């Protein structure tokens, strides 16, 4: 039976391994090593541990959801929401269960209005099925700081 609970410090190593393996299969031009994955997940763990949840089976993490609270004009919202589940547990509604539990906590504890996320185009179908909508008026921009400084300073 799968249990959904807050991530514990000891879970970070296994979750980082899962995250880095999943990241190998996305169309990113960036390398997300185990160390990078651990640092990334640790950030969420330190800044919003009550909204960093994992799915556990036989004492082993098989997926997680994480977000950061941010203020906006209409109150708080969940930012950078991300759901990841190992392949053997996909298509079993585990991602939706993780997201539902996180939303219940966020609504009850913080009266959160909505959640925003960024994802690769190959993943947006899952997020749309989960209730997210594509905002066509927003463009994600990325800037290489070193190149910027080389060209503009």
Q: What is the tens place of the pLDDT at every residue in 53-98?
A: 999 999 999 999 999 999 988 889 898 888 999 989 988 899 999 9
Q: pTM value?
A: 0.85
Rounded Cα–Cα distance for residues 114 and 9 (Å)? 27
21 vs 53: which has the higher pLDDT: 53
Point out which residues pair with 105 in neighbouring strands: none
Q: How confident is the model at residue 135 (pLDDT cuts 50, 70, 90)?
A: confident
Whole-number pLDDT of residue 28: 62
- Residues in the chain, total: 153
């Amino acid at each position: 039976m799968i249990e959904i609970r807050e991530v514990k410090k000891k879970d970070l190593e296994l979750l980082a391994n899962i995250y880095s393996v999943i990241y190998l299969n996305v169309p990113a031009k960036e390398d997300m090593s185990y160390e990078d994955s651990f640092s990334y997940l640790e950030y969420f763990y330190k800044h919003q541990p009550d909204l960093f949840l994992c799915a556990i089976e036989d004492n082993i993490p098989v997926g997680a959801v994480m977000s950061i609270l941010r203020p906006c004009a209409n109150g708080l919202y969940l930012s950078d929401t991300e759901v990841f589940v190992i392949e053997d547990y996909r298509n079993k509604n585990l991602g939706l269960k993780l997201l539902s539990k996180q939303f219940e906590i966020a609504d009850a504890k913080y009266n959160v209005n909505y959640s925003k996320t960024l994802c690769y185009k190959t993943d947006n179908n899952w997020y749309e099925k989960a209730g997210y909508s594509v905002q066509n008026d927003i463009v994600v921009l990325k800037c290489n700081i070193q190149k910027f400084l080389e060209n503009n300073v």
